[in-house]
A and B are shown apart, each in its own frame.
Chain A
Amino acid sequence: MTGPADRPRAEWPLYEVFVRGKRGLNHVHVGSLHATDDEMALRHARDVYTRRNEGVSIWVVRSDAVAASSPDEKDPLFAPAGDKVYRHPTFYAVADDVPHM
């Protein structure tokens, strides 16, 4: 029996790309691309997203491996945080020599 997974796909799987700009920063989602496998996705990400000297490290992950919240859950998930001003650390002065805050 031939399942859907055995047939040649018309399109390569989609990957999400995360790039770290420099040491000490975190990886940031920059976009997505198509590739046949993880290795090719890394190389495509290098070619598409770091060609202007943007990065020192790349993560790629299959888009279908990302679990995402649903817009329907927006209110129960996020609305309760909207009025809790005391949770923001705005009552402290940030020292001048602390970067990336």
Chain B
Amino acid sequence: MTDHDTPTPGASTSASTSHDHDADHGSVFDGLLGGDDSQWAFGTDFEDPLAGVDTTIPDGVDAAALASYCLMLGDDALVASHRLSQWASNAPDLEDDIALANVALDLLGQARLLLTRAAAADARLVPRLPEGSPVPPEDALAFFRDESAFRNVRLVEAENGDFAETVARLLVFSTYRLALLQRLAGSRDGVLSAIAVKGVKEVTYHRDYAGRWFLTLARGTAESRRRLVAGLDRVWPLRAELFRTHAVERTVAEQGVGVDPADVADEVDVLLEQVLSVSGIDRPEVPPTGTVGGGAGRDGRHTEAMGRLLAEMQVVARAHPSGRW
């Protein structure tokens, strides 16, 4: 898994040696990647979000519960990221294509950190791969788990629908996730806290993006409003599941490392009501999607869309369990 598409500073060296016939001119990027720090074209100063963070598990914390909790938050981000990345080359215009890809990459970065944390806290969660496989734990978790081992809420696995439905889903998801991350910044687990601090800045933008588009589509044309209302009707039934407290979430909340999602329900509801109100959109009157045998996404019980999503996401990695990427 990789969450960056930027050439690394070292990449210019290999690029220039592989183009020796062109040595007189060098790479067109040489001037941009040189030692002159006034150049900004490829950016500078990339930060490691976990630099200097204590990675030991705090006293009195159930490592297995912490690991399961990291899977929940990590799978939410991973699956949402995969769905959003399906918009690449399909969005209504180039600018929103890139905007959605940026959101997807932010979430993928959060997923990497959370899955890595999950594997470090409880190695038993990581699927066994062939002896000598170079696949790191985060990738083993992302690409070699079966559907029932995924702990994401069902909201993020649903098909994208049209742009308006995606905007409605992203608004609900990012409002929920931002409220969680803001509280999680105070986690006793230094790693979760650092991931949350980084994530708050990212998801604040995601919510802003979704909220602005929600308002624009609601107040736009009759057609954009019709599509938004229809999309919101499909998103809304999966909202209630976000605030059901799973036993793992209760445990980590009691131990001061996690957040009980029921605690953010009111805040999320008020924020969504504000967006609905300024947009002039009525709160959908649709019943919540039921549970399966008393469980939902956090218990590994997913909708039909999840199997197809995983098949697409995992097929290449599973075909090469000893592959190096």
Contact = CB atoms under 8 A, between A and B. Distances in A.
Interface of A: 8, 12, 19, 21-22, 25, 28, 33-36, 39-40, 43-44, 47-48, 51-55, 99-100
Interface in B14-46: 38-46
Given A40-B216, A48-B95, A53-B43, 12 more contacts: A22-B40, A25-B38, A33-B95, A34-B93, A34-B94, A36-B216, A43-B99, A43-B212, A47-B98, A48-B94, A48-B98, A51-B102
A27 to B, nearest CB: 11
B6 interface: yes
Interface string B208-248: 11001000100001000000000000000000000000000
Contact of A44 (B43, B99, B216): B99
Contacts of B209: 43
5 contacts: A21-B40, A22-B40, A44-B99, A52-B43, A53-B46
Interface of B: 6, 38-46, 93-96, 98-99, 102, 208-209, 212, 216, 221
A8 B40 CA distance: 38
- What does DSSP make chain B's interface, helix, strand, loop or mixed? loop
A96 B126 CA distance: 56
B212 A53 contact: no
A54 B148 CA distance: 41
A47 B95 contact: yes
Nearest to A41: B95
Contacts of B208: 43
Nearest to B4: A52
Given A34-B93, A40-B212, A43-B99, A55 B221 contact: no
B95 A52 contact: no
B6, B40, B46: most-surrounded residue (chain A CB, <10 A): B40
Given A33-B95, A39-B212, A53-B45, A47 B102 contact: yes
A21 B93 contact: no
A94 B78 CA distance: 53
Nearest to A21: B40
Interface centre among B95, B96, B212 (most CB of A within 10 A): B95
A51 B202 CA distance: 12
Contact of B6 (A44, A52, A99): A52
Q: Nearest 10 A-B pairs (CB), nearest first?
A: A53-B43, A21-B40, A52-B43, A44-B95, A47-B99, A54-B40, A54-B43, A52-B6, A47-B98, A48-B98
Given A47-B95, A47-B98, A21 B38 contact: yes
Given A21-B38, A34-B93, A51 B98 contact: yes
A100 B36 CA distance: 9
Contacts of B221: 8
A36 B209 CA distance: 14
Contacts of B45: 53
